[in-house]
Amino acid sequence: MPNRQLSSEELEHLFAPLITEVRRRLDDLSQGDKDLLWALRRKLSKELIYDERGKPTQRRKLKELKRVEQDNKCHQCKTSLPLKYVVLDRIEAMQGYTPENTHLLCQACDIQVQHERGYK
């Protein structure tokens, strides 16, 4: 299922005012301090990513759980998973990183799955 995209109207009437307000607020809070502005932007960006993906330790634990569940095999091709560069794939991205909505893929299978889903 494709991920929800904002319509042109939503971009114009919801997102544009939101990002303008956030940027204005960041400028106000940093009071011309470029280093503080950078740090605030970076922290805001990280926290928003955590809202969507969870924190790295949560995903790491989920990877360990899925590795055991899948008997250390790629969900797609069933070959043994490498120690590194294993992808925790969300079946439906908007459903988040949960045990029911994820599986582990080797890199080659992840590339194939992403291509099949139309991602670039």
Q: What is the pLDDT of residue 2?
A: 72
CA distances from 61 to 39, 97, 119 (A): 28, 11, 26
Asked, for residue 1, whether it belongs to a domain, the answer is no
Half-sphere exposure of 47 (CA within 13 A, CB side): 6
On whether both 91 and 79 belong to a single domain, the answer is yes
- Is there a contact between 95 and 101 (Cβ–Cβ < 8 Å)? yes
Report how many domains make up the chain: 2
Whose tokens are 């809070």? That residue is 29
Residue 99: inside a domain, yes or no? Answer: yes
Q: Domain for residue 97, yes or no?
A: yes
pLDDT at 119 over 80: no
User: 95 lies in which domain range?
Assistant: 56-116
We report the CATH number of the domain holding residue 96 as 3.40.1800.10
Q: Return mean pLDDT, the chain.
A: 94
* Sign, Cα dihedral of 54, 115, 105, 42: negative
Q: What is the spatial distance between Cα 103 and Cα 97, in angstroms, rounded to a whole number?
A: 9
Same domain, 48 and 85: no
70-80 tens-digit pLDDT: 999 999 999 99
Average pLDDT of the residues in 8-20: 98
pLDDT higher than 90, residue 1: no
pTM of this structure:
0.77
